[in-house]
Structure 1
Amino acid sequence: MTEPYVTLRIKNNVGYIEFFHPNRNSMPSDILTKLKATIEEAGSNNAINVIVLQSGGDRTFCAGASFNEVMAVNNAEEGKVFFAGFANVINAMRTCPKLIIGRVQGKTVGGGVGLAAATDYCLANKYASIRLSELSIGIGPFVIEPAVTRKIGLSAMSQMTIDAETFFSAEWAKTKGLYSELFETTEELDEAIIALAEKLSSYNPEALTQMKSVFWKGTDHWNTLLSERAEISGALVLSEFTKNTLKRFR
């Protein structure tokens, strides 16, 4: 696999959304835009009762923001637009009427942690360690913070944010509530994902939709909140500190 993509396939009333980028599944704007649109498409498809969100490859679930694109930001408006990409995906997941199951098959960083946190139920393998590295490069996990804090609590989110250069183990993430179950192998993970998704897809779709709205009660203000957070990140990414730090990752 060398070309980025976002795909949707349907099997047994389960919609499998998969994203991929050859640079460790990093997320440039075009992939974020396609992912948002695909989540909305699956949410409105009557042939789909449950959604699985997954990425291609076997080592990294998502490396977060595309550093190359972040480095190319020239003004605050461009920065806000870029970080709004993650905001839009999280809001699409939040407002999607279908339950979304996350499949995390490897390390995930920054925005990828936000995606995992925005799923309704997340399964992972034992290699699925997580890191919030944003402070170390001069910005912060502002856009994804509401989703991460909602899932693992403010204390754990603060710990990850401050200890920005550490990968926290999959076991740690499970104890904090990000992952519901862990598996030794990706094969076992996939078997569990399929079994759970197909079981859920046999339940009353209306009940699933009503339950989803209960899960996300109190988040109606997130459209505005995440936009404001994107504006903060968009301004910070212009700092000399961040520009110089990102050059080391080129």
Structure 2
Amino acid sequence: MESYVTQKIINNVGYIEFYHPDHNAMPGDNLKKLEQTIIDAGNNNQIKVIVLKSGGDRTFCAGASFKEMVAVKNEDEGKHFFLGFANLINVMRKCPKLIIGRIQGKAVGGGVGLVAATDFCLATKFASIKLSELSIGIGPFVIEPAISKKIGKTTLSQLAIDAESFFSSEFAKEKGLYASVYDSVEALDYAVKTLAEKLTRYNIEALKEMKKVFWEGTEHWDALLEARAGISGKLVLSDFTKQALKRFSD
């Protein structure tokens, strides 16, 4: 299948879905499409609540595209590459509509950042998480603020340092990344639909003000995440990272 970003509106819920055949990794063009789709949904009066989901069964999001990462040739290109996730996280936190995450499978690297940038998240028992960045010579710098805000720096340090291990969905629920975990995708979809449609019957202005409360103290993130993208953009040029990513260059 070709990669895509789509949106459909059902009962005032905007279902935004992204897909890429490489385990839902996110190349730059998909990140931009997803960013713009969320902006448009935030401005669409037909939509009262947004659901963020991905296609396929096994992986919610494998993070940034390693193939594009390998192609980075200088610091400007590196910063631009990592600004993809930075801009998306900022758009999600600024969106005036609540964003519910529907996490059907594994989340890795930037995928964990997307999960943390939602306002409320439901998952299946298959939705384990991993921050693999240190193992390839960079770090989860761009996504750290969203992850730390959601689950705290202590849990972040566990994930970041144990960079080659997956942590279970129950671990993610215990730490507050997921609100609930379900045994099947069918059960997850029913719970997401029920919650989203219930929220559409609430006062949309109250939901908007509540979201502002959720993200208080993040007003400086535009500058912060841009600076973090610069750090990652420099590190991705290191010999260590180039060697670690060689196997993805074909």
TM-score of the alignment, normalized to the shorter chain, above 0.5: yes
> What displacement does 1:57 show?
0.2
Q: Which residue of 2 aligns with 1:179?
A: 178
Structure 2 distance, partners of 1:108, 1:205, is 30
Q: Which residue of 1 aligns with 2:105?
A: 106
Q: Which residue of 1 aligns with 2:200?
A: 201
The alignment's TM-score, normalised by the length of structure 2, stands at 0.99
Q: Percent identity?
A: 67
Structure 2 distance, partners of 1:150, 1:105, is 22
Structure 2 distance, partners of 1:175, 1:93, is 24
List aligned pairs for 1:1-250, cutoff 5 A.
Answer: 2-250=1-249
Structure 1 distance, partners of 2:49, 2:66, is 32
Structure 1 counterpart of 2:201, one-letter code: S
Structure 1 distance, partners of 2:200, 2:88, is 23
Structure 2 distance, partners of 1:249, 1:136, is 14
Structure 2 distance, partners of 1:88, 1:11, is 27
- Tell me the secondary structure at the aligned position of residue 58 of structure 1: coil
Structure 1 counterpart of 2:21, one-letter code: P
Structure 1 distance, partners of 2:157, 2:169, is 17
> What displacement does 1:248 show?
2.5
Off by >4 Å, runs of 4+ in structure 1? none
The alignment's TM-score, normalised by the length of structure 1, stands at 0.99
Structure 1 distance, partners of 2:72, 2:13, is 38
> What displacement does 1:121 show?
0.2
Deviations 1:89-124 (A, max 9, x none): 000000000000000000110000000000000000
- Tell me the secondary structure at the aligned position of residue 227 of structure 2: helix
C-alpha RMSD of the superposition:
0.5
Deviations 1:57-90 (A, max 9, x none): 0000000010000000000000100100000000
> What displacement does 1:202 show?
0.8
Structure 2: runs of 5+ lacking an equivalent: none
Contact 2:70 2:248 in 1 (8 A): no
- Tell me the secondary structure at the aligned position of residue 151 of structure 1: helix
Structure 1 distance, partners of 2:162, 2:247, is 20
Structure 1 distance, partners of 2:85, 2:248, is 21
Structure 2 counterpart of 1:112, one-letter code: G
> What displacement does 1:249 show?
3.6
Deviations 1:196-230 (A, max 9, x none): 00000111110000100011000000000000000
Structure 2 distance, partners of 1:131, 1:249, is 19
Structure 1 counterpart of 2:159, one-letter code: M
Structure 2 distance, partners of 1:79, 1:150, is 25
- Tell me the secondary structure at the aligned position of residue 218 of structure 1: coil
